[in-house]
Amino acid sequence: METTDIGLWGVPLAILGGAIRVSTPFIFVSLGEAITERSGRINLGLEGILVFGAMTAYAVAVMTDSPWLGVLAASGTGACFGLFHGWICKFPKVNDIAIGIALMLFGSGLAFFFGKPFIQPSAPDLPAIAFGGWSSSPQVQAALNINVLFLVGAALAVFLWWAFKNTRAGLIVRVVGDSSDAARAMGLNPNTVRLLATGVGGALAAIGGAYLSLYYPGSWSEGISSGQGLMAVALVIFARWNPLGCFAAALLFGGAGALGPALQSVGVTQGYYLFYAAPYILTLLIMIATSSPGRSLAGAPGELSITK
């Protein structure tokens, strides 16, 4: 009796816990991509930055025994990759999408190159806070064991949502993203703003990678990323370039990913792959419903190459 009860409740609980665990890298990568795209450029290289960030964080954590130094180092290297993308794309005729895909290959290649010696040793994990202490059920406790970075990501989403609306920096990024000409008329240099926005985006993506290697799954290997960096591009569109939307969409994408293992644990072994695809189908349907030949996608930055 006991076990069946937990089995039934186990599914939503496992999805909730899984969504929180799986969504954290999505939150960081998508917020980073949202900042970059809001400035009018798209960086498909976040996947490579994420993998390199995961490797850097793990390596530094192994060497210094401090996971937080690892996160810091990861965000530094991520910013370097982002700045590189931002710099190279300012030259005329250089395609930001193609450079992004090249960076994806280069970043993960470099990560595998330098990461070989770190596959064996184990690094200290990032701390998690147990919010489930009130319950005696181990499943509840497991689901509510929430990593600090998830909370940081949630706070960051709220902050960015506020900052885009209410700060000078937020306004500058939005102006540059909506019209290069208007930005120039205001005395702003669009290339500089995009450079910085891509740099910040890279740093956030690398923190997402650090979460992967330092908490969940919590080890460094060449298969550490399951494409979170590339999926973030879809996620940002799904969220309509809104940071709060990114947070919600990250939970949704994470939940869809957690559905498979949760259903498997109660004996459903088929069909869950289609649930993995659900967020993509939904994003595609939303794009079809809201686009029309007459206008661009609602909420899209005007200078973004992919929505023109």
Partner 1 sequence: MTDMIGGPAAPALIDGPALRAGLEWVSRRAEAFVIPLTALIVGMALFSIFIALLGKSPAQLYELMWRGGFGSWFSIQNTLSRAAPLLLAALCVALPARLGLVVIGGEGAIVLGGVAAAAMAVAVAGAPPFVGIFVMGIAGMVAGGIWIGAVGALRHYRAVNETISSLLMAYIAIALMNHLVEGPLRDPASLNKPSTHPIDPAFAIGAIPGMEVHWGLAVGIVACVMSWVLIEKTRWGFAARIAGGNVRAAQVQGLPVGPLIVGFTALAGSFAGLAGMIEVAAVQGNANASLAAGYGYTGILVAFLARHNPLAIIPVAILLGGIDASGGLLQRRMELPDATVQVLQGMLFIVILFSETFYGRFKIFNPDLWKRSA
Question: Contact residues for partner 1 (CB under 8 A)?
Answer: 44, 48, 88, 91-95, 97-99, 101-113, 116, 227, 230-231, 233-234, 237, 270-271, 273-274, 276-277, 280-281, 283-284, 287-288, 291-297, 306-307
> Which of 291, 254, 257 lies closest to 274, judged by CA?
257
Nearer Cβ to partner 1 (57/233): 233
Nearer CB in complex with partner 1: 166/292: 292
Cα–Cα distances (Å) from 198 to 51, 203, 246, 256, 261, in that order, read 17, 9, 17, 28, 35
Q: For partner 1, which is the closer residue by CB, 40 or 107?
A: 107
Gap between the Cα atoms of 65 and 62, Å rounded: 5
How is residue 231 written in tokens?
Answer: 């999926």
- Minimum distance, C-beta of residue 92 to partner 1, in the bound complex (Å): 6
Tell me the residue type at 298: A
Q: Report in angstroms how near the CB of residue 119 gets to partner 1 at its nearest.
A: 11
Structural contact between residues 64 and 70, judged by C-beta atoms closer than 8 angstroms: yes
Q: Taking the complex as a whole, how short is the minimal distance between the CB of residue 163 and partner 1, in angstroms?
A: 26
Q: Which residues contact 75 (CB under 8 A, 6 or more apart)?
A: 53, 203, 204, 206, 207, 210
Q: How far is the CB of 147 from partner 1 (least distance, A)?
A: 26
Residue ranges with strand state E in 47-166: 128-130, 145-147
Say which residues have a Cβ less than 8 Å from residue 198's Cβ, sequence separation at least 6: 36, 39, 41, 43, 82, 83, 85, 86, 89
Nearer to partner 1, 110 or 152 (CB): 110
**Quick one: 92 or 187, whose CB is closer to partner 1?**
92
58 vs 150 by CB, closer to partner 1: 58
Nearest distance, CB of residue 129 and partner 1, angstroms: 33
Closest CA to 216 of 201, 226, 205: 226
Nearest approach in angstroms of CB 128 to partner 1 is: 29
